[in-house]
């Protein structure tokens, strides 16, 4: 019986330690979420300016650019999957991977799908299943910088601009997790390339009115519209990637916070049950001891010969 | 003729807004050469090379901002946007740090081992160095 009591107490103590850890992780995550959201917001002005500039140039000139040219019969799509580096974030990474699986299943009729991965969780998933991967990045999932986005953009653009016959891509899709609120984060699929410059966004930005389109009409371009567009579009691609990385980082932190909160709650419940059981066991041991003593004393009195 | 209204300038980098304010003169280097932008400038849209943009604010102060490329756009309402992937104000630049960066990356380039990224860093560091020089010249 005493053995059992000790076991229960040991378990309770170990759950209490776990609870301390999950509580700490919850607090860390919840303090980082606002920071991640702030980053999303402070990248807003750049995205807004760039968007205005591109719509200006695009409406001004009917330039045919390799990055915007629609592909009629794509044969080799690329898929970039963004997940977290670390686990303990609930279903965050597996949801993104699931969305990616659905996407690749729908692209199955194409010749060959090239997969690009971002975040250690996705890399582990693909390595375990021994699937081919074109390129991977990791180590920055909860605090991505613009430099990270540039590296990814440079690689993707280089592959996209390679002719299809030589193994280049003719379409690039992104799978990321959109941050709606602290409670809702949804995996989303977006086509990155070829770019759709017109109506590509559904109110992700501050919702500025877009009535200032026509003021761009009489622009003078230096050196000319084509090279300005040449300069702008890669920036735009990098900006999109930066945006989805920031969104994913915020989502990761929010879902880690939620996962850790429920882990803490569970630990609390477990501690309560274990304490009750331990108390019960202790009480049972005491009762038994008393019964034994009383029984022993009674037996003693009974056996003593009367004098 | 009444003086035209000052320019409203926005300088944005990829991850933040670097500077915002009113200016009476902007000197910046495009792929075609240096241009000066005064209030009432015609709408223009120009690609930039890495440079130190000098902005004279309406209270006569000079703001020097290192940019690593990007573009400058002026619209007919006097709104100027300067957009670059990386940009830093002169106050945030350390001259020694920029010089070290330039030296290090130039050495790497001499050995022919550099990436696209290093080229960017070199441009930015050179622009920062220029910005720091402008500031130093102003103080003398």
Tell me, what CATH number does B41's domain have? 2.60.15.10
Interface of B with A in 66-105 (CB under 8 A): 69-71, 73, 75-77, 81, 83, 85-86
Whether B12 and B56 share a structural domain: yes
Rounded Cα gap, residues B44 and B95, in angstroms: 32
Mean pLDDT, to the nearest integer, of B105-112?
Answer: 74
**Do B65 and B111 share a domain, yes or no?**
no
SS3 A274: helix
Q: Are residues B22 and B75 in the same domain?
A: yes
Residue A286 falls inside a structural domain: yes
Three-state DSSP class for residue B44: strand
Q: Is residue B2 part of a domain?
A: no
Is residue B58 within 8 angstroms of chain A, CB to CB?
A: no
Instruction: Mark yes or no for CB contact A154/B76 under 8 Å.
Output: no
Q: What are phi and psi of B131, to 5 degrees?
A: -60, -45
Q: A255 with A92: CB under 8 angstroms?
A: yes
Residue B106, chain A, CB below 8 Å: the answer is no
Do A97 and A111 sit in the same domain of this protein? Answer: yes
User: For position A245, what pLDDT does the model report?
Assistant: 92
Q: Is residue B18 part of a domain?
A: yes
Q: What is the domain extent for residue A69? A: 33-200+221-260
Token output for A103: 């996407």
Peptide bond into A194 cis (omega under 30): yes
Token pair belonging to A134: 């074109």
Judged by CB atoms closer than 8 Å, whether chains meet at A222 and B31 is answered as: yes
Give the count of domains, chain A: 2
Query: What's phi and psi for A155, nearest 5 deg?
Result: -65, -45
- Compute CA distances A73 → A178, B62, B115, whole Å: 29, 54, 33
Rg for chain A, CA atoms, rounded: 30
Q: Has residue B81 been placed in a domain? A: yes
Can you list the residues of chain A whose pLDDT is less than 50? 199-216
Residues A246 and A281 in one domain: no
Question: Are A170 and A268 found together in one domain?
Answer: no
Q: Are residues B129 and B81 in the same domain?
A: no
Same domain, B35 and B61: yes
Same domain (yes/no): B132, B69: no
A130 domain-assigned: yes
Domain total in chain B: 2
Residues A254 and A123 in one domain: yes
Measure the CA–CA gap between A304 and B8, rounded to whole angstroms. 109
Of B17, B42, B116, the CB nearest to A42: B17
Nearest by Cα to B65 from B30, B117, B119, B18: B18
Q: Closest-CA residue in chain B for A53?
A: B73
Domain that residue B30 falls in = 7-89
Average pLDDT of the residues in B73-96: 82
Backbone angles phi, psi at A40, to 5 degrees: -60, -45
Question: Is B1 part of a structural domain of the chain?
Answer: no
pLDDT at B19 over 60: yes
Do A104 and A17 fall into the same domain?
no
Query: Is A240 in the B-facing interface, judged by CB distances under 8 Å?
Result: no
Q: Between chain A and chain B, how many beta carbons pairs sit less than 8 Å apart?
A: 94
Q: Looking at residue A47, what is its pLDDT?
A: 86
Specify the pLDDT at position A295. 92
At A278 the pLDDT is 92
Does one domain contain both A187 and A124? yes
Is A267 found in the same domain as A240? no
A193 touches chain B (CB under 8 A): no
A230: CATH: 3.40.1380.10
- Residue given tokens 């915007």 in the structure block: A68
Contact check, Cβ <8 Å, A235/B85:
yes
Name the 3-class secondary structure at B24. strand
Cα–Cα nearest to A192, from A156, A144, A140, A143: A156
For residue B2, pLDDT over 60 is answered with no
| A17 and A85 inside one domain | no
Q: Are residues A98 and A128 in the same domain?
A: yes
Mark yes or no for CB contact B17/A151 under 8 Å.
no
Confidence (pLDDT) at B113: 67
Please tell me the number of Cα atoms within 13 Å of A26 on its side-chain side.
14
Task: Name the residue of chain A whose CA is nearest to B74's CA.
Answer: A219
Q: Do B31 and A215 touch (CB under 8 A)?
A: no
**B11 and B80 belong to one structural domain:** yes
For residue B24, being part of any structural domain is answered with yes
Nearest-CB residue to A46 (from B13, B31, B42)? B13
Is B60 found in the same domain as B32?
yes
C-alpha distance from B20 to closest chain A C-alpha (Å):
11
- B27 lies in the same domain as B62: yes
pTM across the whole model: 0.81
One domain for residues B84 and B64: yes
Q: Is residue B29 in some structural domain?
A: yes
Q: Scanning the structure block, which residue is given the tokens 């015609």?
A: B42
Whether the per-residue pLDDT at B112 is higher than 80: the answer is: no
- DSSP assignment letter at A211: G
């Amino acid at each position: 019986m005493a053995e059992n009591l000790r076991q229960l107490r040991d378990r309770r103590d170990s759950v209490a330690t776990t609870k301390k850890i999950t509580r700490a992780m919850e607090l860390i995550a919840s303090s980082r979420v606002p920071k991640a959201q702030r980053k999303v917001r402070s990248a807003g002005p750049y995205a807004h300016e760039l968007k205005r500039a591109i719509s200006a140039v695009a409406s001004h000139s009917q330039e045919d650019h390799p990055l915007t040219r629609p592909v009629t019969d794509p044969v080799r799509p690329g898929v970039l999957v963004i997940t977290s580096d670390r686990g303990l974030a609930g279903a965050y990474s597996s949801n993104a991977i699931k969305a990616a699986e659905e996407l690749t299943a729908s692209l199955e009729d194409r010749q060959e799908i090239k997969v690009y991965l971002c975040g250690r969780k996705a890399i582990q998933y693909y390595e375990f299943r021994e699937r081919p991967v074109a390129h991977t990045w990791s180590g920055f999932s909860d605090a991505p910088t613009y430099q990270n986005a540039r590296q990814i953009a440079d690689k993707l653009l280089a592959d996209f601009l390679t002719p299809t016959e030589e193994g280049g891509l003719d379409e690039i899709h992104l799978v990321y997790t959109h941050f709606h609120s602290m409670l809702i984060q949804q995996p989303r699929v977006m086509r990155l390339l070829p770019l759709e410059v017109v109506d590509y966004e559904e109110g992700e930005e501050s919702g500025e009115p877009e009535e200032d389109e026509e003021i761009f009409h009489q622009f003078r371009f230096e050196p000319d519209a084509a090279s300005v567009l040449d300069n702008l579009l890669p920036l735009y691609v990098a900006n999109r990637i930066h945006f989805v990385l920031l969104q994913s980082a915020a989502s990761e932190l929010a879902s880690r916070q939620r996962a850790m909160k429920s882990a803490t709650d569970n630990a609390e419940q477990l501690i309560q049950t274990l304490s009750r059981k331990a108390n019960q066991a202790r009480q049972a041991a005491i009762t038994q001891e008393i019964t034994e003593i009383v029984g022993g004393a009674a037996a003693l009195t009974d056996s003593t010969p009367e004098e | 003729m009444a003086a035209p209204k000052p320019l409203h300038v926005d300088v944005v980098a990829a991850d933040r807004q670097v500077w915002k304010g009113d200016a009476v003169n902007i000197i910046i280097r495009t792929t075609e050469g240096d241009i000066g932008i005064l209030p009432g400038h015609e709408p223009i849209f120009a690609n930039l090379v890495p440079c130190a943009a000098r902005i004279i604010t309406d209270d006569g102060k000079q703001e020097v901002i290192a940019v690593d490329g990007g573009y400058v756009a002026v619209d007919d309402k006097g709104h100027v946007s300067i957009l670059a992937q990386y940009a830093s104000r002169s106050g945030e630049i350390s001259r020694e740090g920029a010089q070290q960066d330039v030296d290090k990356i130039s050495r790497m380039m001499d050995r022919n081992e550099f990436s696209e990224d290093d080229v960017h860093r070199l441009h930015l560091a050179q622009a920062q160095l220029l910005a720091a020089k402008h500031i130093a010249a102003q103080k003398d």
